[in-house]
Amino acid sequence: MTDSPQSGANQPSHPKDTLTMRIFAGLVLGFGAGLVMYYSRVAFPDAMFAAWVQEYLIDGVFLVFGKIFVNLLKLMIVPLVLVSLICGVIASEESKSLGRLGSKTFVLYLLTTGVAITLALVVAQIFDPGAGADLSADFEPYAVKERPPFVQVLINIFPDNPMQAMAEGNMLQVIVFAILVGIALNHTGQHGRRIGAIFEDLNVVVMKLVQLIMQLAPYGVFFLVGKVFAEQGIDLLKGLGAYMGCVLLALALHFTLTYLGILTLVARLNPLIFMRKMRAAQMFAFSTASSAATMPVTMGIVEKKLGVRNSVASFTIPLGTTINMDGTAIMQGVATVFIASAYGIELGMAEFVTVIATATLASIGTAAVPSAGMITLAMVLGQVGLPAEAIGLILGVDRILDMVRTAVNITGDAVVTCTVAHSEGALDQAIFDDPDVVEVQPG
Ligand code: ASP
C-alpha cells in the first residue's frame, strides 16, 4: 500500500542533504552568471560580443536548457496527480476520511489566504508605498484579459472529457476525475482492488521518475535563474523600491508569523525541521516561478521527508497548488493599496473588505504559472474601481516578486498539508523529526 509513508521504501540516511546544497549552488552560480551577462551587455552595448551573449547564451543555451528542465517537471504533473490521487482515495476510503479531509483542507486554505491578504493590507497602509510614486512616468498600459463568469468557472471544474482535461493540464478537472475513479474502484470489489493495485505500483514508478528528474535540478535552476538576471540585472527597482519592500515584508511576516505559528501552535510540529526540509522545494519555486512546475517536488518532500501519508498529500498538494496562493494574494493586496495611493484614491473599510474577499477568491482562480497573479490582479482592482491598466506600473518588477511569492505559495500548501495530516493521524512523526531523511528509494 502506498498509504504508509514508508511503504515499499527503504531510507538511506545521509549526514547532509547534498542535493539541496547542489541546487543552492546552482541558484547562486546562476545569479552570478546572469549578472555577468547582463553587465557585459550593458557595458558594451554595441560590441559584437553583446549580440553574441544575447543570441547564443541568453536566447540560446540558457533558454533551451531552462525550458527543457521546466518541461521535464511539467511532464510529471498529470501522471502524478492522477495516479497519486487515485491511490489516495483508495486509502482514505479504508479510513472513511475523504469528506472530513476535504473540508478541513479547504477551510484552512481559505483562512490562510484571508490572513495573508489582511497582513498585506496592514503593511501597505502603514508604509504607504504609493505615496512617492510618480505616475507621470511612462508605463506600458496593461491589456486586461476578460475573466469568465463565476458560474462558468464552477461548471468548468467538472470535466466532460478527461483526456482533454489531462492534455490541457487542467488540474481541477484532473482532480475531480481522479477522485471519481478512486471512488468507483472502491465500490467494485475485486475488480477495483486489482486495478487499484496497478495504480499503487504505478505510483511508485512515477515517484521514482520525479526523483530522477530532481537530479537535474542544480543545472535547471542555474539556467533558469541565469536567464532572468541576464535579462533584468538588479537595477529593477526603478522607483518601485517601496512597493517591492512592502510586498517582501508582508511575505516575510506571513511566512514567519502565520506559517511558523500554525506549525508550532496548531500542528505542534517543529517549524525549523519543516523549513529545512522544504528548502529544496522553495528553491525550485523561486527558480521556476510556478507552483505547478514545483508540485512534483513539493509532493515528494511532503511525503518522503515530512512523513505525510500519500492518502492526504495526494489530495492536499494538488488542490493547494491550484487554489491556495497566499503569496499571490499578498502581492495583490499591496499592489491595490499602492495603485490607489499613487492615483490619489482613498480606500475605505468597504473597499478593504472587498479586496480581502476578491483576492481570496482570485487566488483560487489564479493559474499556478509565472505571472498569473497579474491577470487576477486586474479583477481585484476592478472590484474597487481602480484602472487595471495601472498594472503596467508594477509589471517591470513582477518577475522577481513572482519568484519569491511562488516560494511562499508552495510553503503554504505544505504547512496546511502537515497540519491536516497531523490532525488526521496521517503524519509519521519519526520521519518528520529525522534530520537525516534525505531520499527514499521506492521499491
Ligand atoms: N507564479 C505564481 C505561482 O505559480 C502565481 C502568481 O502569483 O503569478 O504560484
Domains of the chain: total: 1
Domain range enclosing 97: 12-433
Q: Whose C-alpha lies nearest to ligand 1, atom 6?
A: 373
Q: Is there an atom of ligand 1 within 6 Å of 372 CB? A: yes
With respect to residue 350, please indicate whether it lies within any of the assigned structural domains. Answer: yes
With respect to residue 5, please indicate whether it lies within any of the assigned structural domains. Answer: no
Pocket test for ligand 1, best of 334, 409, 410 (most atoms within 8 A of CB): 409
Q: What ligand 1 atom has the least distance to the C-alpha of 289?
A: 1
The residue behind cell 511612462 is 138
Q: Is there an atom of ligand 1 within 6 Å of 325 CB? A: yes
Q: What ligand 1 atom has the least distance to the C-alpha of 366?
A: 5
With respect to residue 440, please indicate whether it lies within any of the assigned structural domains. Answer: no
pLDDT of residue 142: 52
The Cα-based distances of 9 to 295, 314, 439, 443 in angstroms read 21, 17, 10, 6
Q: Report residue 29 as a C-alpha cell.
A: 552560480
Q: What ligand 1 atom has the least distance to the C-alpha of 325?
A: 9
pLDDT of residue 13: 41
**Along the 443 residues of the chain, how does pLDDT read in single tens digits?**
334 433 333 344 444 557 778 888 988 899 899 989 998 888 888 788 888 888 899 999 999 998 898 888 778 878 888 888 888 788 776 656 678 888 899 899 999 999 999 999 999 999 888 776 555 444 455 555 555 676 777 788 899 999 999 998 777 788 889 989 999 999 999 999 999 999 989 988 988 888 788 788 889 889 988 988 888 777 555 557 889 999 999 999 999 999 999 999 999 999 999 999 999 999 999 999 999 899 999 999 999 999 999 989 998 999 899 889 999 999 999 999 998 888 778 888 888 888 998 888 777 767 778 878 887 888 788 888 888 777 767 876 788 899 999 999 999 999 999 999 999 999 999 999 988 775 444 33
With respect to residue 154, please indicate whether it lies within any of the assigned structural domains. Answer: yes
Comparing CA positions, the residue from 307, 255, 325 lying closest to residue 422 is 307
Pocket test for ligand 1, best of 113, 317, 366, 408 (most atoms within 8 A of CB): 366
With respect to residue 307, please indicate whether it lies within any of the assigned structural domains. Answer: yes
Comparing CA positions, the residue from 8, 155, 167, 95 lying closest to residue 315 is 95
Q: Report residue 383 as a C-alpha cell.
A: 472590484
Question: Got the DSSP string for 334-395?
Answer: HHHHHHHHHTTPPP-HHHHHHHHHHHHHHHHHS-SSTTHHHHHHHHHHHHTT--GGGHHHHH
pLDDT of residue 299: 93
pLDDT of residue 126: 92
Q: Is there an atom of ligand 1 within 6 Å of 405 CB? A: yes
User: Residue 294 maps to which CATH number?
Assistant: 1.10.3860.10
pLDDT of residue 27: 85
With respect to residue 272, please indicate whether it lies within any of the assigned structural domains. Answer: yes
| Cross-strand partners of 9 | 442
Q: Is there an atom of ligand 1 within 6 Å of 318 CB? A: no
Longest CA span, the chain: 72
Q: Is there an atom of ligand 1 within 6 Å of 411 CB? A: no
Q: What ligand 1 atom has the least distance to the C-alpha of 368?
A: 4
Helix axes 217-232, 398-423, angle to 10 degrees: 140
